[in-house]
């Protein structure tokens, strides 16, 4: 029995007792010895479910924590979704412009749009999987992306003949504008090597990202034939890789084809002929590249034949400061075909070797006074080897020259700006007196000024 003073304390207990278990005879009242009023309660089940209460409390805490986690996720996804929607809105505007004026754009514009649309589709898929829900908003985004892809495909097929003519004219105009933008002091005197050498470079002409449209292709380069066959004077060769291995080369008939990534020939190097390093040279319709530490390789583009020669003294311990595996560095200029390397005997200093193009052997060689590992790169022009090094993040310097005709060495200080800090390829071409650089995945060129 419980007194009325304790009734409030037991009320939580009574609340757990089902109503149907109560009977009218279970509650009685009486007067105590001191005249106080007493209330007597007979509970049918006095056992308090403490374990159930504890379980409910734990479940409640877990649910609160889970709700907080999900709320934080929603906040994060909402922020991401706003960013994606903004980017998608901007892309929609670009597609609308393309749709209104399709004849003002080239094939590359359509390909870039497709790539961005694929990226948006992947982002929306990732977001949907993260939320693990189905929403009309996601369905709407998918529909809009698919519609935009269809529009891009339709625009590219619109009036193809007219678009092709406009594309060619646009590329020609772009080339003329690029030439006009160069410093007017750089007027080439093709084939003339009577001066005292290089005295300056123009500002860098950043053409575009590589043919793979990926900044991950850091190793490799692009070049023109330094002694082209008739009909191939405008040919370009490109080969770039995500590692220091050379797997293939792409050949383009002219500048327009290079910009549009429309190659006329693609070489997949067969087993046993895969190259290494970040350098190659094109001369006489042949591509020269490094197969191993010691081997010079040659692909004859006309006959599709392969050949190699070993330079036994070349050492794999010495490479340029910007490249880890550029042991043999090929170059072609007004005076012939060259290869530069370092050996243990030269103590890491660059050796310049003249290659006999007919026998594919070493004709002559010269020792230089410049350490290869301290040089960013090197190239040949008019029989003179020039070495470069970094001044700061945006400036490079031609600091050394060796004239193979006289054996004279010079210390120079010819500064020129660079697009990115490090580059993997630097090659001079005598047919247009330009310096070709492959800088962080981008085609870059310089006009060379001679004295």
Distance CA 244, CA 149 (A): 36
Residue-wise over 54-89: b if at least 16 C-beta within 10 A, else e?
Answer: eeeeeeeeeeeeeeeeeeeeeeeeeeebeebeeebe
- For the segment 150-173, the average pLDDT, to the nearest whole number, is 59
Select from 398, 385, 295, 390 the least CA-distant residue to 349.
Answer: 385
- For the segment 22-41, the average pLDDT, to the nearest whole number, is 66
Distance CA 237, CA 249 (A): 7
Identify the sign of the CA torsion 319, 321, 325, 331. negative
DSSP three-state, residue 74: helix
The pLDDT score that the predictor gives to residue 192 is 80
Question: How much is the pTM?
Answer: 0.61
Residue 344 Cα distances to 292, 366, 373, angstroms: 17, 15, 13
pLDDT digits (tens, 9 = 90+) for 300-350: 998 889 999 999 999 988 999 888 888 999 999 999 999 999 999 999 999
> Can you point out the beta strands (E) in 393-424?
395-403, 409-417
Q: How confident is residue 2, by pLDDT bands cut at 50, 70 and 90?
A: very low
DSSP three-state, residue 251: strand
Select from 163, 145, 144 the least CA-distant residue to 155.
Answer: 163
Domains along the sequence of the chain with CATH? 4-41 (no CATH), 65-158 (no CATH), 187-450 (2.115.10)
Helix 136-157 vs helix 50-100: crossing angle, to nearest 10 = 20
Sequence-separated (6 or more) residues with CB below 8 Å from residue 183: 202, 203, 447
Q: How confident is residue 6, by pLDDT bands cut at 50, 70 and 90?
A: very low
CB 332 within 8 A of CB 281: yes
- For the segment 100-122, the average pLDDT, to the nearest whole number, is 62
In this predicted structure, the answer to whether residue 176 has a pLDDT above a threshold of 90 is no
Q: How confident is residue 232, by pLDDT bands cut at 50, 70 and 90?
A: very high
Torsions phi, psi of 191, nearest 5?
85, -5
The pLDDT score that the predictor gives to residue 7 is 41
Select from 421, 426, 431, 420 the least CA-distant residue to 446.
Answer: 426
Q: How confident is residue 42, by pLDDT bands cut at 50, 70 and 90?
A: low
> DSSP labels for 279-345?
-EEEETTEEEEESSSSEEEEEETTTTEEEEEE-TTB-TT---TT-SS--SEEEEETTEEEEEEEBTT
- For the segment 189-214, the average pLDDT, to the nearest whole number, is 86
Q: How confident is residue 183, by pLDDT bands cut at 50, 70 and 90?
A: very low
How many residues are listed for the chain in this entry?
Answer: 451
CB 408 within 8 A of CB 395: no
User: Which residue reads 């809105």 in tokens?
Assistant: 89
Q: How far from the centroid of its chain's Cα atoms is residue 373's Cα?
A: 26
Beta-sheet pairing, 219-224 with 329-333: unpaired
- Token pair, residue 321, equals 């400061």
């Amino acid at each position: 029995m419980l007194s009325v003073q304790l009734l409030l304390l037991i009320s939580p207990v009574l609340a757990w007792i089902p109503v149907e278990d109560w009977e009218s005879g279970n509650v009685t009242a009486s007067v105590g010895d001191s005249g106080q009023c007493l209330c007597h309660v007979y509970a049918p089940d006095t056992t308090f479910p403490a374990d159930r209460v504890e379980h409910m409390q734990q479940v409640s805490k877990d649910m609160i924590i889970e709700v907080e986690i999900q709320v934080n996720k929603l906040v994060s996804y909402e922020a991401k979704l706003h960013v994606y929607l903004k980017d998608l809105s901007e892309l929609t505007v670009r597609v609308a412009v393309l749709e209104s004026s399709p004849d003002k754009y080239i094939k590359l514009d359509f390909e870039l749009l497709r790539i961005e649309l694929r990226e948006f589709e992947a982002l929306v898929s990732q977001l949907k999987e993260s939320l693990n829900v189905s929403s009309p908003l996601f369905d709407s985004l998918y529909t809009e992306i698919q519609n935009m892809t269809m529009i891009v495909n339709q625009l590219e097929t619109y009036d193809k003949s007219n678009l092709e003519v406009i594309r060619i004219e646009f590329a020609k105009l772009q080339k003329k504008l690029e030439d006009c933008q160069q410093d007017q002091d750089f007027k080439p005197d093709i084939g003339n090597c009577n001066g005292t050498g290089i005295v300056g470079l123009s500002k860098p002409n950043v053409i575009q990202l590589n043919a793979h449209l990926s900044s991950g292709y850091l190793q490799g380069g692009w070049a023109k034939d330094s002694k082209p066959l008739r009909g191939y004077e405008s040919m370009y060769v490109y080969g770039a890789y995500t590692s220091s291995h050379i797997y293939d080369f792409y050949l383009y008939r002219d500048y327009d084809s290079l910009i549009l990534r429309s190659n006329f020939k693609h070489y997949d190097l067969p087993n046993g002929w895969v190259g290494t390093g970040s350098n190659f040279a094109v001369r006489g319709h042949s591509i020269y590249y490094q197969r191993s530490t010691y081997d010079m390789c040659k692909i004859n583009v006309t006959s599709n034949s392969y050949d190699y020669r070993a330079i036994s003294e070349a050492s794999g311990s010495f490479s340029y400061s910007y490249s880890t595996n550029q042991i043999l560095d090929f170059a072609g200029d007004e005076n012939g075909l060259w290869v530069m390397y370092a050996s243990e005997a030269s103590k890491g200093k660059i050796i310049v070797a003249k290659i006999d193009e007919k026998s594919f052997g070493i004709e002559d060689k010269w020792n230089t006074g410049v350490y290869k590992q301290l040089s960013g790169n090197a190239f040949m022009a008019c029989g003179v080897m020039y070495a470069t090094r970094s001044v700061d993040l945006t400036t490079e310097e031609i600091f050394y020259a060796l004239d193979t005709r006289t054996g004279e060495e010079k210390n120079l200080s010819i500064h020129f700006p660079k697009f990115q800090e490090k580059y993997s390829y630097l090659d001079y071409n005598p047919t247009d007196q330009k310096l070709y650089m492959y800088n962080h995945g981008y085609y870059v060129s310089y006009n060379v000024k001679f004295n």
